[in-house]
Amino acid sequence: MVRVRFAPSPTGNVHVGSLRTALYNYLFAKKNNGTFLLRLEDTDRTRYEEGSVENLLSALYTTGVIPDEGLVLEDGKPAQHGEYGPYIQSERLAIYNQYIEKLLEEGKAYYCFCSKERLEKVREEQKARGETPRYDGHCRNLSPEEVKAKLDAGEPYVIRLRLPENRMIAFDDTVRGRIEINTDDLDDQVLIKADGFPTYHFAVVIDDHLMGITHIIRGEEWLPSTPKHVYLYECFGWEQPQYVHLPNILNQDHKKLSKRQGDVAVGDFLAKGYLPEALVNFLALLGWSPEGDQEIFTLEELVQAFDPERVNKSGAVFDRDKLNWMNGQYLKQLSDEDFAAGMIPFLKKDGLITEADCEERKDWLLKVAGLLKERIEYFAQAPDELSSILNTDFEMTDDAEAKEILAADTVPVLYQALVEKIRTADGWDAQAAQQIIKSIQKEHKAEKIKGKALYMPIRLMLTGVMHGPDLALIMDVLGKDECLKRLERF
């Protein structure tokens, strides 16, 4: 049975790259009727940030990438669910101690008493000689008596993995194929830190084996460490999982996606009014290519289509324009009611509407929703778009074409007819506004008030610009009185 895991560290907001990793694990598990497990890797206590766990679970549950096992939400609070717990590494120290003792007894790990100052000096000397900085094995061959004496004296230590010399380590990666590396090019990795906590590289192997993980789907930044993980599996005599290393997500300059170039956290995008399902759809296609040319997928469709064999080797550029386009497609599919619900918080925040308006002007807000649905790509754009439409102090465009349009002999006739028909209109909605425009065209065939000579002047008189949303929808949103005020001002 397929068992996969997402194992982040609680170090702040959830990066979009982390969500994509979780998503690919989720899709693979669901495609194969397997289990998607969430585990917290919190052994680096210096990087722990308060509230990270809640933020992590909120991001996963909001986007629908919900774990089956491990760290979950129960009654809105973090909880652990499953038979392989605890699922938080800092609660598993006794387990790691058991396995490090086994490696020490078998001579596959050793105590290292080197000070931080000595290690830094060694690295600097290696760099000066043009060598790759790595541990020089200074404590590798200490006698049992020397080790005991140092332990009895209370000297601080770490425990390192004893890699064999000049040995090829090989493994197969679903994305990158066969990978081989010589142990002489690797470091004797620290397994237990001076504070007694395991490093990621030790704990991850123990946890993945004990939790029955069959496929390890993670970012390519872990690829250089994988040979050490492979060797640890070998040390314990355990069956290797299948490795799937995902390409990095890149900025437009083809460097790893960075905060320096804009939003990178899931919460950043959700706070701007991107739809969770659109963000998931977009991230799924960053580094993975489905068969065919379909671009818009539901989560269920992604499950059916996902195949790790089609994950790309090269990094995927985070194209914000493409994300905006995709989110816009999702917005267009919303009902006016759902669209209004999404934009209202942003309109309230900018002071364009009040809490009372949400109750007393529901019909008007639905009209605004219908108007903006074709105009914005995410909800945070709604206030500016609506402000430009509601702005009564607009200046008439000084565009030469606009001036020519308004200078036409038919404009005074059109103006008088428009004012009269709006003033005498009984009801008011988009349909009524459209009927007024059509009736003017019908009644003034002789003056050839139609097409561009009909719509362009009306739009200019009411909004000051030549192009924009559907004219009848604009007139509906502005309301009868406001349309008359603008015509009077013109």
How confident is the model over 191-227, as pLDDT tens digits?
999 999 999 999 999 999 999 999 999 999 999 999 9
Could you tell me if 242 and 215 are in contact, meaning their C-beta atoms sit under 8 angstroms apart?
Answer: yes
- CA–CA distance, 53 with 323 (Å, rounded to integer): 27
- CA–CA distance, 71 with 79 (Å, rounded to integer): 6
Confidence check: pLDDT of 260 > 70: no
Q: Which has the closest alpha carbon to 436: 411, 414, 453, 463?
A: 414
Cα 277 to its chain centre, rounded Å, is 11
Q: What's the CATH number for 400-489? A: 1.10.10.350
* The two structure tokens encoding residue 384: 């500016």
3-89+249-317: CATH topology: Rossmann fold (3.40.50)
pLDDT band at 390, cuts 50/70/90? confident
* Mean pLDDT value across the chain: 92
Task: Give the pairing of strands 168-173 and 177-182.
Answer: antiparallel
Q: Tell me the per-residue pLDDT of 114-165, one tens digit each, with 9 for 90 and over.
A: 999 999 999 999 999 998 889 999 999 999 999 999 999 999 999 999 999 9
Q: Does the pTM exceed 0.85?
A: yes
* The two structure tokens encoding residue 349: 């925040």
Active site residues: 259
- From residue 232, how far is each of 63, 114, 184, 237, 248 by CA, in Å? 35, 23, 16, 9, 26
> What strands, in cross-sheet order, belong to the sheet with 3-6?
3-6, 35-38, 69-74, 77-81
Q: What percent of the chain has pLDDT over 90?
A: 72
pLDDT at 401: 86
Cα 135 to its chain centre, rounded Å, is 37
Specify which of 88-97, 389-398, 458-467, 481-490 reaches the highest per-range mean pLDDT: 88-97
For 3: left if phi > 0, alpha if psi spans -120 to 50, otherwise beta; the answer is beta
Residues of CATH 3.40.50.620 domain(s) within the chain? Answer: 3-89+249-317, 92-246
pLDDT at 259: 64
- CA–CA distance, 87 with 246 (Å, rounded to integer): 24
Mean pLDDT of 92-103: 97
Q: Which tops the pLDDT comparison, 490 or 56?
A: 56
pLDDT at 267: 93
- CA–CA distance, 267 with 279 (Å, rounded to integer): 11
Could you tell me if 68 and 35 are in contact, meaning their C-beta atoms sit under 8 angstroms apart?
Answer: yes
- CA–CA distance, 99 with 177 (Å, rounded to integer): 30
- CA–CA distance, 226 with 234 (Å, rounded to integer): 12
- CA–CA distance, 91 with 101 (Å, rounded to integer): 18
Query: What homologous superfamily is domain 92-246 in, according to CATH?
Result: HUPs (3.40.50.620)
